[in-house]
Amino acid sequence: MYKTSVLFGVLLLALACGNSIPSSKIEFVSKTKIVVPETSGLTFYNGSLFAVSDAKSFLYQMSLVGKLEYKYAVPVNGMEGVAFDEKKKAFVLLSETKRKMTYYSLKDGVGASFKIKGKQNSDNDGLEGVCFNSKKESLYLLNEAKPKKFLKISSKGKIKKDYDLSFSKDVSGIVYDDVLDVFWILSDASKALYKVDDKGELLQEFPLNIEKPEGIALDNQRRLYIVSDQTADLFIFQIK
């Protein structure tokens, strides 16, 4: 049986004095198997979850309980992140191996691709997550390790802000929370979930009892979805 006390127990880091962002509590809701192999990215759009895999070139559409609804063939390899750009009305598919982001519309198919500048020591240390900040209408990316980076970019992939991250061994997934105006970031190696501000400063930390957490999404009911790359499990939590 899954133990919520192990996953999200005692708050490890309190909010800084004077910070107006309230502390959060996370409650475990359910866990289910999914059919997406080696899930590496997850996002919520129009009542469904959309996932990508670093093993297969598909965009997978799932129900909110992880049932596969459809899969779209996309000409992008080594995908490690996906987000829906509300301004462009298209998905952003993030390739770690090519260090590129590609726009994809369910209606019109593949759009423009843009190279992301920056450094990575290997194909496994590069771009690892993407999300869309609805308040600033901007995209944010993660660089997994060596270096660990939190990047604000333009719609054409130009880096506008560059922040170092020091709170985890690596970073593996990201989602923007428009209610709290914060970001939720996963770490695969540290098995943890972090709440951070728009400069990458740590606000809260929660331990995870999940093997290789790599995809994260947030719906409009404050439910948080986390997928395991290793076990193909979808974990659902409620943010309070």
DSSP element (H, E) containing 131: strand 127-133
The contacts found for 85-89 with CB under 8 angstroms, 24 or more apart, are: 85/132, 85/139, 85/155, 86/132, 86/134, 86/137, 87/132, 87/137, 87/155, 88/155
Q: For the CA atoms of 114, 139, 240, 46, what is the dihedral angle to 10 degrees? A: -60
Which phi-psi region, left, alpha or beta, contains residue 178 (left: φ > 0; alpha: ψ -120 to 50)? Answer: alpha
Query: What are the pLDDT digits (tens) for 32-76?
Result: 999 999 999 999 999 999 999 989 999 999 999 999 999 999 999
Average pLDDT over residues 116-139: 87
* Reported pTM: 0.91
* Structural contact between residues 65 and 80, judged by C-beta atoms closer than 8 angstroms: no
Average pLDDT estimate for 144-166: 94
Query: Does the pLDDT of residue 14 top 60, yes or no?
Result: no
HEC sequence for 118-130:
CCCCCCCCCEEEE
Q: Point out the least confidently predicted range of 18-27, 47-56, 173-182, 203-212.
A: 18-27
Cα–Cα distance, 142 to 64 (Å, whole number):
25
Q: What is the pLDDT of residue 122?
A: 61
Could you confirm whether domain 4-234 is CATH 1.10.357.10? Answer: no
Q: Which two tokens stand for residue 125?
A: 């240390």
Say whether pLDDT at 18 is over 50: no
Please give the Cα distance from 82 to 43 (Å, whole number): 6
| Domain definitions of the chain by residue range | 4-234
Strand partners, 169: none
